[in-house]
Amino acid sequence: MALLDPAILPDLTNAPNHMANAVAPDPPFTVEHGDELQQRLTAWLAK
């Protein structure tokens, strides 16, 4: 982040102030429930 223009920092999704509210990835959960989650997402997007 040190090499970036500070003026664009608030617009970045991985800016430090945005990371406080970020959802942490959980690979074991995704492996266990990935198919169901994909089906639910696809159904939701089709609405």
The b/e string for 16-43 (b: 16+ C-beta within 10 A; e otherwise) is eeeeeeeeeeeeeeeeeeeeeeeeeeee
What six digits make up the tokens of 18?
A: 């945005």
Residue 1 has a pLDDT of 62
Over residues 1-47, the pLDDT tens digits come to 678 898 998 899 888 888 888 888 899 999 999 999 999 999 999 99
Residue 6 has a pLDDT of 87
Tell me how far apart the alpha carbons of residues 5 and 7 are, in angstroms, rounded to a whole number.
5
Please tell me the pTM assigned to this model. 0.52
Residue 24 has a pLDDT of 86
Strands (E), the chain: none
